[in-house]
């Protein structure tokens, strides 16, 4: 990755997103760092509540500042976003950085036509006229594969199918040629066949527009399909990072192993038993002082004294690696002997 | 005599029209010329005895009306009223809130005039005098004045008067007084209509032997029996003139022609009425109406709380506001009565009603038991339920303080002296009659005042050794319930008000035993030969003063010897007005403030 | 849209027919003889009663009376006491006028009171609600929320006389409430109704503040509002175009119910301020056993409620294309 001539397009360092509540502070994201490079796709994987969506909404400043405490650094090219004024963020949103949300059913307003909602960012950021925006919208709808776009542009969201709505969302996101597209579970709510179409579409458009993409998902299948790099998140922190090939092929963190084991496969041994990860994620109000995965980890007893997974927090290496006290050797052996056979 | 009983829902603020001709040397706190004097110093409920009663002469009957000192013409008077009139056709008018407005717009053959000295006189209104009587009171002759007109400019002639009386027989005239019709027909029941079943509308008319109009100016009534009260009766708003030409039958009730100083500029039922001057009214013909204001703006739907609060505040337009019939409300009443700043703006007197607890003589036959009831009933408990001193005064006798023959000291059973009732004496009487535990069926209505009074009465009766079975009925059906002869009830409230200032409209309707029937007003079913014959005898006495004394004597006999009930209280009427209303005095004939003397202080 | 309204109108007519039949049979089934009232107790003979009953048209079987009543709506009726031109809602024998005349006489008061009051509470309620929602969690929000909670638990029969005593009788800050037709004196109309509007709208304003705040906060958390923000819309646009529009649906629903029943009559307000609207007319009709009037007022109130339901449905359709296009 360091081979890129310029720095990363988006660089997040030690990001913390905390929500003060009556019961205490919810540490939704607690010290997260990652980079996104131009033209590349970063897949961020994790269970719900792992902080992956919260972190990315923080990039665009979508949290209500009154109820959120954000610290750390977010650099978009040369701009620092955590301290940027709201107006600056407003100019970025939907323009340089666009976002696609999970549920296309609720992510579009039911009260306005699809065309109007898609055209809005173009008019706002490019100062386009109503007519220009409409033309561009029809173009984009055609580009994302909506049939009869000139007619459908005046439809309301409820007249679109789920897949079409997500295509419309993508069209909206791409209106201003964004440099970064954050796709937050864009296919989760869709049928499997539609999922594949949407992912293919995203890939195609990435080729065409050269945008960087952050693909947030809990589905390793999606990650393997589209990502160049992968970040695995657990309980508000990153626990493993690397290229997609590395993380999916030679995962080093017990949590990633668990994710892989619990994922259904279409190829290979379809009938094998899925192994869900035992236990539940830790409370974000009072996370354990050590490794957050320790209570659910089947291998913490392999860690030799004096390190104690329950009290010592493992660090994540800057580039390829996993935040785990197991030695590199142990990780390799356990994966090769005990995990990989299950994935066949 | 028609039944006139006070419905419970009318208990406060609404009284019957009365008419009469008498001079009270000092009438109950009202009195002519008394405006500005205030009446707070005097005991407000201490009318003094009667001096004389007079019919006016032709001279008394000439207009214009004697001026009120300091009064000026002009201005607008605002009147805050609770209930709007259901009827504007004179023949349908009987209840007082309608009569009071009718006095401003309608004129009859006679009128009762309250003069500056506080004297009441029956004067000729449309007629030149109060009536020329002949044939021992069987024939009465009236001559119309000149220059009397309806507000459409048409002259009022004897044909209009004939029409006025003939249409009283028509089926659609159902709400007004029935005295004159019954006298003309020579009957005391509802069969008077048989005399002229369709009224004048199908070509039939009363024969000259009954009602005679020999020329344009003359009206002659012929009765079978002497009718010495005719001049009073003709002064009731119900007998005011109706135009023959302008008669629209049922529809006359909405848009009548008027003959008085005002005409109806606009009437929105339930809401408001504007009276403006009737240009065809000639003050020179009217001895009874000063008609100082140019305009009356009457608005309806004001609760007593609302009208009292506004008149107390006396702001802006409310300084020229008054009310004819809205009494003080229970909340503000005591403040208003006690605070001297309001004293000059109060007009205080009595309504014609006397509240009684009637005893059913068919059922409670032992006079000793009846006397026990009288002794036990707590006047204070009853009156407190009806608002205490704002609501009325304890009653000693059957005759209202407004009536000639009333005696403030009359207290045959010591009730005034001991308004709490005498349970011990009552028990003694019960024991004497060997009737301890005597069961009484008591019916009252569901209005809160009546219920509260009933509780007080029942408690006192039980303390004295009676057993009381209370039951209650809705106010609408209350008088129908107690009017059934075989009702099965022993005691019940019955309120009675005179129609004019004569006990002839009090004693016979309630105590003539020959009139006992379902729906009649002899609620205690008293049927006594002596009483019946006395009624016939006193009715024929032509001299009003003499008759009044005889009625009072008969009333005392009934109350003391026959004990048909317990008088409990006299309904009081206290109304307020704004600081720029002048000439406001209580008029006993009206039973409220005299609207004919009102003027706006500029 | 046209078909939508047409369909709803036909439905409404059916509902009104049912209501009219039920009210009619209910009223005329109760054992009160209106003829007895018109005839006058004590002086009324059986023959006379029969004449009066005939004149009132109540000597016929009830179903036939109902048919005559309904046909009177379209062709009018004639009574001995006066004619009742179409649409004849009945004829009041108490004051010998068509019921509709009286209703139309009272209607301007009710309309003025309702429309003026509704305007005040709708504008203030929505504004306060928006302010509170936009400043959620601040002192302003907390103050407004608790104030509106207290005010919404007040009653008009408490607030009304209090306001009257304090603002009118004692200090004369406001003029005596009264109804002056707007056509005669617009300023007098405004002044006369100012206090009733304020009192009537105080409680409603509090309710609408709470409602509008709650629905706005809910809407602000909607996904599509987040989408709007994420595509760079200004906070004002996000708030008004996206969140506010969605919050209108529940408000319109409640508003439709409130204004429909206010048009049927704000009885306590009318009595408190001695105004003469339909509510008072209804109460008076009950106490006077004026059945034709009561029937007319009930039908009219039902008509208003049904009418406002159609208007509300049309508003839904305007606000929400899903309703319109389904």
CATH of the domain at B502: 3.10.105.10
How far apart CA B588 and CA B570 sit, in angstroms, is: 13
Residue B373 lies in a domain: yes
What residues of C are in contact with residue A106 (Cβ under 8 Å)?
222-224
Name B110's bridge partners: B124
CB pairs under 8 A between A and C: 83
List the helix and strand counts (H, then E) for chain A: 13, 11
Q: What average pLDDT does the structure give for chain C?
A: 85
Residue B534 lies in a domain: yes
Residue B583 lies in a domain: no
Interface of A with C in 291-320 (CB under 8 A): none
How far apart CA B151 and CA C226 sit, in angstroms, is: 76
How far apart CA C26 and CA C19 sit, in angstroms, is: 10
Residue that is written with structure tokens 């059922």 in the block: B363
**pLDDT tens string C222-264:** 889 989 988 888 888 889 888 898 888 889 989 988 888 888 7
Residue B163 lies in a domain: no
Residue that is written with structure tokens 């999606």 in the block: A222
Helix axes C99-134 and C245-263, enclosed angle (nearest 10): 150
Residue B444 lies in a domain: yes
Residue B188 lies in a domain: no
For chain B, say whether C229 makes contact (Cβ under 8 Å).
Answer: no
Residue B84 lies in a domain: no
What is the predicted ipTM? 0.83
Tokens of C326: 């389904």
Cα end-to-end span (Å), chain C: 11
Q: Which of A91, A106, A172 sits opposite C223 (nearest CB)?
A: A106
Q: For B579, what's the count of Cα atoms within 13 Å in the CB-facing half-sphere?
A: 8
For chain C, say whether A156 makes contact (Cβ under 8 Å).
Answer: yes
Name B95's bridge partners: B16
Q: Which of A90, A101, A111 sits opposite C223 (nearest CB)?
A: A101
Burial class (CB in 10 A: 0-12, 13-18, 19+), C186: exposed
**What is the dihedral sign for C-alpha A245, A249, A254, A257?**
positive
- Contact call for C43 and B174, based on CB within 8 A: yes
Residues A98-124: b if buried by 16+ CB within 10 A, e if exposed: bbbbbbbbbbbbbbbbbbbbbbbbbbb
- % helix, strand, coil for chain C, step of 5: 75, 5, 20
Among residues A237, A218, A241, A219, which one has the least CA distance to residue A228? Answer: A241
* All structural domains of chain A with their residue ranges: 108-177, 249-342
Q: What is the 3-state secondary structure (H, E, C) of C136-198?
A: CCCHHHHHHHHHHHHHHCCCHHHHHHHHHHHHHHHCCCCCCCCCCCCCCCHHHHHHHHHHHHH
Name B78's bridge partners: B297, B321
How far apart CA B30 and CA B585 sit, in angstroms, is: 5
Residues 6+ apart with CB under 8 A from B282: B63, B147, B148, B149
Of chain C, the percentage scoring pLDDT greater than 70 comes to 91
Q: How far is C160 from chain B (nearest CA, A)?
A: 11
pLDDT confidence of C50, banded at 50, 70, 90?
A: confident
**pLDDT tens string A86-95:** 888 888 898 8
- Contact call for C246 and A109, based on CB within 8 A: yes
Report if pTM > 0.90: no
Helix axes A192-209 and A162-174, enclosed angle (nearest 10): 10
Q: What is the pLDDT of residue C38?
A: 60
With touching defined as 3 or more inter-chain CB pairs under 8 Å, the answer for chains C and B is yes
Burial class (CB in 10 A: 0-12, 13-18, 19+), B579: middle
Top residue of C137, C217, C224, C242 to mutate, by most chain A CBs within 10 Å, is C224
Alpha helices in B172-298 (DSSP H): 179-185, 230-234
In angstroms, the Cα distances linking B440 to A335, B70, B360, B568, B569 are: 103, 58, 10, 18, 22
What residues of C are in contact with residue A98 (Cβ under 8 Å)?
230-231
Question: Strand A321-322 to strand A237-243: parallel, antiparallel, or no bridges (unpaired)?
Answer: antiparallel
C-alpha Rg value of chain A to the nearest Å:
21
Number of domains present in the structure of chain B: 1
- Contact call for C231 and A121, based on CB within 8 A: yes
Residues 6+ apart with CB under 8 A from A103: A188, A189, C223
Top residue of A109, A156, A166, A181 to mutate, by most chain C CBs within 10 Å, is A109
Q: What average pLDDT does the structure give for chain B?
A: 86
**Domains of chain C: residue spans and CATH:** 2-84 (no CATH), 99-319 (1.10.3720.10)
User: Residue A237: left (phi > 0), alpha (psi -120 to 50), or beta?
Assistant: beta
What residues of A are in contact with residue C223 (Cβ under 8 Å)?
101, 103, 106-107
In angstroms, the Cα distances linking A249 to A335, B1, B101, C104 are: 10, 116, 104, 84
Residues 6+ apart with CB under 8 A from A197: A145, A163
What residues of B are in contact with residue C195 (Cβ under 8 Å)?
none
Cα angle, residue C241 at apex, residues C238 and C244 outer, rounded to 5°: 90
Tokens of A43: 């897949």
Instruction: Establish whether the linkage from the previous residue to A306 is cis, with ω within 30° of 0.
Output: yes
Report residues of chain A scoring pLDDT below 70: 1-6, 265-274, 344
pLDDT confidence of C48, banded at 50, 70, 90?
A: low
Q: What is the pLDDT of residue C65?
A: 84
CB pairs under 8 A between B and C: 97
Q: Are the CB atoms for B77 and B296 separated by under 8 Å?
A: yes
Report residues of chain B scoring pLDDT below 50: 1-53
What residues of C are in contact with residue B329 (Cβ under 8 Å)?
none
- Contact call for A101 and C229, based on CB within 8 A: no
Contacting chains of B (3 CB pairs or more, <8 Å) are C
How far apart CA B353 and CA B510 sit, in angstroms, is: 13
- Contact call for B309 and C169, based on CB within 8 A: yes
Q: What is the pLDDT of residue B257?
A: 96
């Amino acid at each position: 990755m360091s081979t890129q001539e310029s720095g990363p397009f988006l660089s997040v360092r030690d990001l913390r997103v905390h929500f003060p509540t009556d019961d205490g502070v919810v540490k939704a994201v607690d010290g997260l760092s990652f980079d996104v490079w131009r033209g590349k796709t970063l897949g961020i994987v994790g269970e719900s509540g792992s902080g992956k969506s919260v972190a990315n909404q923080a990039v665009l400043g979508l949290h209500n500042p009154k109820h959120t405490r954000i610290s750390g650094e977010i650099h978009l090219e040369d701009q620092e976003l955590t301290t940027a004024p709201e107006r600056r963020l407003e100019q970025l949103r939907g323009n340089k950085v666009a976002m696609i949300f999970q549920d296309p059913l609720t992510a579009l307003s039911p009260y306005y036509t699809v065309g109007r909602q898609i055209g809005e960012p173009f008019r706002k950021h490019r100062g386009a006229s109503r007519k220009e925006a409409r033309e561009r919208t029809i173009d984009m709808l055609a580009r994302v594969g909506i049939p009869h776009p000139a007619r459908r542009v005046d439809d309301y969201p409820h007249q679109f199918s789920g897949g079409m709505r997500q295509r419309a969302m993508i069209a909206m996101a791409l209106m201003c040629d964004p440099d970064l597209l954050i796709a937050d579970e864009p296919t989760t709510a869709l049928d499997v066949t539609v999922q594949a179409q949407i992912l293919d579409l995203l890939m195609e458009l990435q080729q065409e527009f050269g945008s960087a993409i952050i693909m947030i998902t809990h589905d390793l299948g999606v990650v393997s399909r589209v990502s160049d790099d992968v970040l695995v998140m657990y309980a508000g922190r990153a626990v493993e990072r690397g290229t997609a090939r590395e993380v999916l092929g030679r995962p080093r963190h017990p949590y990633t192993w668990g994710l892989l084991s619990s994922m259904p496969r279409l190829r290979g041994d379809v009938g094998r038993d899925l192994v869900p990860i035992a236990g539940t994620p830790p409370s974000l109000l009072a996370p354990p002082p050590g490794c957050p995965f320790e209570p659910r980890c089947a291998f913490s007893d392999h860690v030799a004294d004096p390190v104690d997974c329950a009290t010592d927090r493992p660090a994540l290496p800057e580039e390829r690696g996993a935040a785990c006290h197991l030695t590199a050797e142990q990780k390799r052996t356990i994966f090769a002997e005990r995990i990989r056979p299950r994935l066949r | 005599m028609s039944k006139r009983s006070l419905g419970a829902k009318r208990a406060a603020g609404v009284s019957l029209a009365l008419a009469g001709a008498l001079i009270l040397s000092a009438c109950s706190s009202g009195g002519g010329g008394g405006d500005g004097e205030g009446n707070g110093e005097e005991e407000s409920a201490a009318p003094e005895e009667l001096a004389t009663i007079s019919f006016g002469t032709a001279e008394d009957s000439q207009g214009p009306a004697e001026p009120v000192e300091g009064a000026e013409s002009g201005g607008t008077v605002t009147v805050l009223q609770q209930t709007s009139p259901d009827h504007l056709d004179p023949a349908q008018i009987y209840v007082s809130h309608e009569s009071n407005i009718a006095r401003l717009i309608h004129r009859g053959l006679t009128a009762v005039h309250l003069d500056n000295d506080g004297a009441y006189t029956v004067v000729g209104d449309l007629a030149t005098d109060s009536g020329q009587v002949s044939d021992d009171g069987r024939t009465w002759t009236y001559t119309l004045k000149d220059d009397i007109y309806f507000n459409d400019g048409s002259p009022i002639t004897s044909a209009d008067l004939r029409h006025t009386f003939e249409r009283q027989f028509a089926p659609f005239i159902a709400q007004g007084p029935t005295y004159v019709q019954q006298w003309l027909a020579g009957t005391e029941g509802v069969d008077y209509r048989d005399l002229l079943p369709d009224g004048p509308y199908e070509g039939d008319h009363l024969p000259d032997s009954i009602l005679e109009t020999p020329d344009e100016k003359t009206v002659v009534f012929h009765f079978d029996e002497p009718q010495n009260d005719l001049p009073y009766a003709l002064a009731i708003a119900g007998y005011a003139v109706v135009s023959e030409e302008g008669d629209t039958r049922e529809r006359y009730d909405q848009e009548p022609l008027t003959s008085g100083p005002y005409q109806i500029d606009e009437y929105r039922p339930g809401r408001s009425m504007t009276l403006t001057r009737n240009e065809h009214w000639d003050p020179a013909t009217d001895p009874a109406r000063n008609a100082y204001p140019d305009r009356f703006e009457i608005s309806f739907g004001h609760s007593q709380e609302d009208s009292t609060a506004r008149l107390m505040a006396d702001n802006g337009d409310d300084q020229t506001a008054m009310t004819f019939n809205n009494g003080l409300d229970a909340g503000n009443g005591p403040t208003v009565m006690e605070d001297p700043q309001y004293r000059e703006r109060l007009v205080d007197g009595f309504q014609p009603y006397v509240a009684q607890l009637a005893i059913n003589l068919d059922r409670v036959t032992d006079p000793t038991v009846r006397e026990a009831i009288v002794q036990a009933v707590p006047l204070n408990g009853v009156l407190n339920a009806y608002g205490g001193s704002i609501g009325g005064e304890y009653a000693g006798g059957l005759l209202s303080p407004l009536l000639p023959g009333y005696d403030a000291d009359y207290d045959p059973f010591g009730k005034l002296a001991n308004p709490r009732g005498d349970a011990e004496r009552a028990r003694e009487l019960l024991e004497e009659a060997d009737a301890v535990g005597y069961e009484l069926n008591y019916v009252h209505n569901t209005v809160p005042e009546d219920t509260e009074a009933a509780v007080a009465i029942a408690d006192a009766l039980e303390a004295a050794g009676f057993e009381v079975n209370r039951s209650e009925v809705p106010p609408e059906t209350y008088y129908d319930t107690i009017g059934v002869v075989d009702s099965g009830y022993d005691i019940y409230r019955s309120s009675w008000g005179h129609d004019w200032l004569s006990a002839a409209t009090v004693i016979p309707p309630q105590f003539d035993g020959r009139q006992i029937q379902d729906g009649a007003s002899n609620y205690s079913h008293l049927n006594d030969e002596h009483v019946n014959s006395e009624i016939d005898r006193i009715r024929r006495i032509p001299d009003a003063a003499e008759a009044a004394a005889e009625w009072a004597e008969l009333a005392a006999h009934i109350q003391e010897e026959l004990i048909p009930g317990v008088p409990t209280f006299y309904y009081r009427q206290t109304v307020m007005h704004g600081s720029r209303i002048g000439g406001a005095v209580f008029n006993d004939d009206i039973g409220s403030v005299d609207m004919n003397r009102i003027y706006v202080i500029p | 849209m046209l078909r939508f309204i047409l369909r709803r109108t036909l439905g409404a007519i059916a509902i009104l027919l049912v209501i009219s039949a039920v009210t009619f049979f209910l009223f005329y089934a109760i054992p009160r003889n209106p003829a007895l009232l018109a005839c006058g107790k004590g002086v009324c003979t059986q023959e006379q009663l029969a004449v009066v009953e005939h004149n009132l048209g109540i000597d016929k079987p009830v179903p036939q009376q109902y048919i005559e009543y309904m046909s009177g709506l379209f062709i009018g009726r004639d009574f001995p006491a006066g004619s009742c031109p179409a649409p004849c809602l009945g004829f009041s024998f108490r004051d010998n006028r068509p019921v509709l005349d009286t209703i139309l006489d009272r209607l301007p008061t009710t309309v003025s009171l309702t429309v003026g009051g509704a305007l005040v509470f709708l504008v203030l309620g929505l504004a306060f609600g928006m302010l509170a929602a936009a400043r959620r969690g601040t002192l302003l929000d907390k103050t407004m929320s608790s104030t509106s909670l207290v005010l919404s638990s007040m009653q008009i029969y408490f607030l009304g006389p209090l306001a009257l005593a304090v603002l009118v009788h004692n200090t004369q800050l406001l003029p005596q409430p009264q109804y002056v037709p707007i056509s005669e004196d617009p300023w007098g109309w405004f002044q006369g109704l100012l206090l009733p509007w304020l009192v009537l709208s105080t409680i409603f304003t509090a309710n609408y503040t709470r409602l509008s705040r709650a629905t706005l906060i809910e809407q602000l958390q909607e996904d599509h509002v987040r989408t709007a923000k994420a595509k760079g819309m200004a906070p004002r646009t996000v708030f008004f175009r996206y969140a506010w529009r969605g919050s209108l649906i529940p408000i319109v629903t409640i508003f439709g119910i409130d204004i429909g029943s206010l048009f049927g009559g704000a009885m306590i307000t009318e009595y408190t301020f001695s105004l003469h609207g339909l509510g008072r007319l209804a109460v008076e009709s009950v106490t006077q056993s004026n059945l034709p009037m009561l029937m007319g007022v009930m039908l009219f109130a039902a008509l208003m409620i049904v009418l406002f339901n159609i208007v509300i449905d049309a508003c839904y359709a305007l606000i929400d294309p899903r309703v319109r296009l389904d």
